[in-house]
């Protein structure tokens, strides 16, 4: 019987082929998806690809860029938004 830690659904499973030809299920830690920009949909730079438990241990300044909309929008998307706001304010 598989151990409780292996049977957990928090673990990712992958079928691998052994050198002898047999196939086996390898238990691996799940990987979180990359954080993407809310406007462009491109993966964000300087945001680590870590599980939420690991993210709690990382300092806030290492989790996302220090600029406004850091960790939500890419730098170019944020720049465009700020410019649009500034121009709107003027009118």
Partner 1 sequence: MIDVGRVCVKIAGRDAGKKAVVVEKIDSNFVLIDGQTRRRKCSISHLEPLNKTLDIKKGDSHDKIVAAFKTLNIDVKTTKPKTKKTERPRKVRKLHSKPKKVTKPKVEKKEVKEEVKEEVKEEVKKVVKKTVKKVATKK
Whats the size of the chain, residue-wise? 91
Q: Which of 11, 28, 54, 85 binds partner 1 (CB under 8 A)?
A: 85
Residue 65 — φ and ψ, nearest 5°? -65, 155
Burial class (CB in 10 A: 0-12, 13-18, 19+), 74: buried
Q: Is 51 in the site for partner 1 (CB under 8 A)?
A: no
Q: Scanning residues 54 to 83, which ones bind partner 1 (CB under 8 A)?
A: 66-68, 75, 78-79, 82-83
Q: Is 31 in the site for partner 1 (CB under 8 A)?
A: no
Q: Applying CB under 8 A, which residues contact partner 1?
A: 66-68, 75, 78-79, 82-83, 85-87, 90
């Amino acid at each position: 019987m598989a151990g409780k830690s292996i049977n957990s659904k928090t673990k990712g499973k992958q079928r691998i082929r052994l050198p002898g030809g047999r196939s086996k299920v390898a238990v691996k830690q799940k990987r979180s998806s990359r954080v993407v920009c809310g406007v462009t949909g491109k993966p964000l730079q300087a945001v680590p690809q870590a599980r939420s438990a690991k993210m709690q241990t990382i300092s806030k300044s290492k989790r996302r860029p220090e600029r406004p909309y850091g960790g939500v929008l890419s730098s170019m998307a944020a720049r465009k938004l700020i410019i649009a706001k500034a121009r709107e304010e003027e009118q």
